């Protein structure tokens, strides 16, 4: 017996290691300029696959509600882009706490480290209400509202079963925007009040907030008019 097979195995591992090194791409170091465009290493199909996995595991996440509305074309625009959708679930800047889920760990967490150059990392819907808060509000409001919207059916205190909680809370707050349940949604809607097209975040989730946004616009106009007046006086 010769040691040739052993040598072959060794060579194989060295070549494999070198190959891996050559392939040491954006998953190892996403801070390289070459990582900006992710289409060659994490394309829309791959992101969608991770989203499917995430939303199969926890269908009641805020990001899954948004994805469902994008799929049905109720919602359109930048927040329907795959990178934005997976950011809704995996990004932690909004207070969402799902980054330990497999569908985040597989790719998103590796690519979206501090200093990343990957375009699309950290692009959630601004001010997105984290799943835990959102489902708590829905659950609590479901306890007192009558008649209950269909989204209350099976909605548990821990969030499980609260399908499309953003849609459900939006329906409830449209009927009666009680502060204790609708506070976060009102703030969220104020952030999106400028884009009022019917398929925008505001158009889809914020029907109830129209008056609030009008008073916001009025305030801005008054402040502007006030400072204009002041500037005239100082001349």
Ligand X SMILES: *[C@@H]1O[C@H](CO)[C@@H](O)[C@H](O)[C@H]1NC(C)=O
Give the one residue of 29, 46, 184, 216 binding ligand X; rule: CB under 6 A. 46
Rounded least distance, CB 127 to ligand X, Å: 31
98 and 54 Cβ atoms separated by less than 8 Å: yes
What's the closest the beta carbon of residue 45 comes to ligand X, in angstroms?
Answer: 4
Nearest alpha carbon to residue 97 among 66, 54, 46: 54
Q: Is residue 52 a contact residue for ligand X (CB under 6 A)? A: no
Residue whose entry in the numeric block shows the structure tokens 């050559």? 22
Query: Is residue 106 a contact point for ligand X (CB under 6 A)?
Result: no
- Per rule CB under 6 A, count of chain residues that contact ligand X: 3
- The answer to whether 96 and 131 have CB atoms below 8 angstroms apart is yes
| 39 vs 196 by CB, closer to ligand X | 39
Contact 133, 184 (CB under 8 A): yes
Residue 222 is encoded by which pair of tokens? 């008054």
Least distance in Å: CB of 67 to ligand X?
Answer: 18
**Which of 45, 180, 232, 234 is the binder for ligand X (CB under 6 A)?**
45
**Block residue for tokens 């009008």:** 214
Contacts of 197 (CB under 8 A, 6+ apart): 203
Closer by beta carbon to ligand X, 119 or else 215: 119
Q: What is residue 35's DSSP assignment?
A: G
Task: Choose the binding region for ligand X from 30-38, 43-51, 84-92, 169-177 (rule: CB under 6 A).
Answer: 43-51
Say whether residue 43 binds ligand X (CB under 6 A): yes
- The one segment of 40-48, 171-179, 186-194, 226-234 that binds ligand X by CB under 6 A: 40-48
Cis peptide bond upstream of 91, omega within 30? no
Residue 196 touches ligand X, criterion: CB under 6 A: no
CB of 42 to ligand X, least distance (A): 8
- Closest to ligand X by CB, 43 vs 227, is 43
Q: Name the region of 9 (left: φ>0; alpha: ψ -120 to 50; beta: rest).
A: alpha
As given in the structure block, the two tokens for residue 139 are 């659950």
Q: Which residues bind ligand X (CB under 6 A)?
A: 43, 45-46
């Amino acid at each position: 017996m010769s040691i040739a097979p052993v040598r072959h195995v060794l060579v194989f591992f060295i070549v494999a290691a070198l190959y891996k090194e050559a392939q040491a791409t954006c998953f190892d170091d996403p801070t390289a300029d070459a990582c900006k465009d992710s289409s060659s290493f994490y394309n829309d199909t791959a992101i969608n696959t991770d989203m499917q996995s995430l939303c199969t595991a926890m269908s009641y996440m805020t990001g899954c509600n948004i994805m469902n509305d994008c799929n049905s074309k109720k919602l359109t625009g930048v927040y329907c882009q795959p990178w934005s959708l997976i950011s809704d679930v995996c990004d932690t800047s909004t207070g969402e706490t799902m980054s330990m889920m497999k569908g985040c760990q597989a790719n998103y967490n590796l690519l979206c480290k501090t200093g990343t150059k990957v375009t699309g990392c950290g692009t959630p819907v601004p001010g997105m209400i984290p799943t835990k808060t959102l489902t708590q509000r829905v659950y609590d409001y479901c306890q007192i509202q009558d008649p209950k919207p269909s989204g209350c059916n099976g909605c548990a205190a821990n969030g499980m079963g609260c399908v499309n909680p953003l849609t459900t809370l939006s329906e409830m707050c449209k009927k009666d925007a009680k502060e204790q349940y609708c506070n976060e949604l009102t703030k969220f809607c104020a952030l999106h009040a400028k884009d009022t097209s019917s398929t925008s975040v505001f158009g889809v989730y914020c029907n109830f907030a129209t008056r609030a946004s009008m008073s916001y616009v009025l305030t801005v106009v008054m402040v502007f008019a006030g400072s204009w007046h002041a500037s005239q006086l100082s001349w």
